[in-house]
Structure 1
Amino acid sequence: MTKITALLLAGSRPGSDPLAQAAGVPVKPLAPVAGDPMINYPARALLAHPTIGQLIILTQTPDLYAANPATAWLASHPQVRFETSDSGIASTLLGLLDRPDLPFPLLVTTADHVLLDTAMLDQFVAEGQGADIAVAMVERATLLARYPSSRRTWLKFRDGWWSGANLFWFGSAKARAVIALWQEVEQDRKKGWKIIASFGPLVLLGALLRLLGLRSGIARIGRRFGLNARLVAMHKAEACIDADKVEDVTLIEEILRGRPGADGSATGSI
């Protein structure tokens, strides 16, 4: 198959981040998880996957990663390059879609996706094939069956309660229309009803009356924009556990200790 370009979002939002403050680091992706900067985990997972051709790290401060001994390996890796991002995710992506050096498909994830692994990437890449845009999500029952105390932001639909898994697939330039809409609601990403409303009154009404499933809602959004839009319902509960809060890091470190081959040591590079 065509090699995929992976985009790893490692930018900073306006204002201070509590995880970065607690760790005494200038930006959140450098905050340690089990002794290693969190950005190293998804970076290693992406670079180890056979479908990934290149990894582009998007950040406002690329020099911070080159200067940090624990992340300097990224700056010298032959498959990695840093690019300066805008303040918003959607505006950054819109600036990249038309570049000839970034052929489709594009896979986007975040630096706090510490638990990203081969199985998640296998599923997402397989189910994203052929879509113009795909989004990974986890249904609440999947998460709570394994981690009943984990707290997420949920959107309620007829087919369940769903939380984002920080994995996005852009298979063609048709995705531009949806990303432009994303840009409009980016500041309200935690306010589920505003995001749903932005996709039109039928989608909003269906969600409020619990008549619309997430899969059919995403497909309807795709038809509105003349593209193939797809939900990837992730099998692994860990797909929606990102390092967003102190309690998330505690849970993630517990999960990492339980993974095969885990010895509690930081590794620095692949």
Structure 2
Amino acid sequence: MIVLAGRHPRETDALAQRFGMSHKCLIPLAGRPLVAHVLQTAAIHPAIESLAICVEPEAFEGLFDVLSQLPGRGIAKLVEARENLVDSVLAAAHGWEGPLLVTTADHALLTPASIDAMIAALDTSDAAFAMAPRDAVLAVHPQHAHPFLEFSDGAYASCNLYAAADPEALRAVEVFRGGGRFAGNALGVLRAFGFINLVMLRLRANSLTAATERVSRRIGQRLQPVLMLDGSQALDVDDSHTHAAAETLLAERSAPPHPTVYRTQHRS
């Protein structure tokens, strides 16, 4: 698993600034550094053999402390972040020949079930990406502020979780070259979709599945959307509101279950 933990070189992250940290990935969340939550989930998952955390060197020391407290199974390495998302992913994947997952350090609510779903998708695809339906997202986070991608069959939020059958399948991330989110990178979208497909996407003429099939034909890879019915999988910790929401959801997960009360029925 590749965990992207770098920062934009020309922007100041408000959360990092609020907590006096150089990087958002090191801010506290529910008693632990933010990145520790996603690393812990990955480290204990039986299918994850190694971790590559991509970040600027000035954050290495803080991440060494986080890694030292993870379970001892598997290998973890720190990789210097590059100038853009694509080159960072490719650098982190260097030397790896098997299937891989890519996510972000602020994916604190990542679950083992989500990892399982992404791995299963690679049985029938070269690469997969996770999306959550709008209703599922709003059910757990009514104040969700990131834009939803609109398709003919509904609206979806990106979960910042991707899978590739092997490093060669990382060609799909070329759509992100130049930086920026998928929805805001018009030139990248144009390269991947082609002009007609882009117009159809903007007009919401395609379902999510149909749009993915068009992109698959365009880039010569079998892509697959993976629907996450757990809306928390689309929640990135990137401001004060999502930070508070993530703390609440993590607390709910760790709370002991309510005891079951059994009633005794007396028959007359």
Structure 2 length as normaliser, TM-score?
Answer: 0.85
> Which residue of 215, 222, 236 corresponds with 1:242?
236
- Measure how far apart 1:115 and its partner are: 0.3
Rg larger in structure: 2
> Which residue of 2, 6, 25 corresponds with 1:11?
6
> Using the alignment, how far apart are the partners of 1:196 and 1:180 within structure 2?
10
SS at match of 1:200: helix
Q: Which moved more, 1:12-21 or 1:121-130?
A: 121-130
> Using the alignment, how far apart are the partners of 1:66 and 1:224 within structure 2?
39
Q: Between Structure 1 and Structure 2, how many residues are aligned?
A: 253
> Using the alignment, how far apart are the partners of 1:245 and 1:129 within structure 2?
36
- Structure 1: give runs of 5+ residues left out of the alignment: 1-5, 263-270
Amino acid at match of 2:48: I
> Using the alignment, how far apart are the partners of 1:53 and 1:40 within structure 2?
17
Aligned to 2:158: 164
Structure-2 change in CA distance of 1:235 and 1:32 (3 Å):
same
Q: Equivalent residues in 2 for 1:180-195 (5 A)?
A: 180-184=174-178, 186-187=179-180, 189-191=182-184
Aligned to 1:255: 249
Aligned to 1:33: 29
Contact 2:43–2:73, Cα closer than 8 Å, also in 1: no
Identify which of structures 1 and 2 has the higher relative contact order when contacts are C-alpha pairs closer than 8 Å and 6+ apart: 1
> Which residue of 94, 102, 108 corresponds with 1:108?
102
> Using the alignment, how far apart are the partners of 1:80 and 1:74 within structure 2?
10
Aligned to 2:220: 226
Structure 1 length as normaliser, TM-score?
Answer: 0.85
- Measure how far apart 1:256 and its partner are: 1.0
Structure-2 change in CA distance of 1:245 and 1:129 (3 Å):
farther
> Using the alignment, how far apart are the partners of 2:124 and 2:226 within structure 1?
13
Contact 1:65–1:75, Cα closer than 8 Å, also in 2: no
SS at match of 1:256: helix
Q: Equivalent residues in 2 for 1:105-144 (5 A)?
A: 105-144=99-138
Aligned to 2:53: 57
Contact 2:28–2:34, Cα closer than 8 Å, also in 1: yes
SS at match of 1:55: strand
Contact 1:12–1:59, Cα closer than 8 Å, also in 2: yes
Amino acid at match of 2:12: S
Identity in percent: 27
SS at match of 2:180: helix
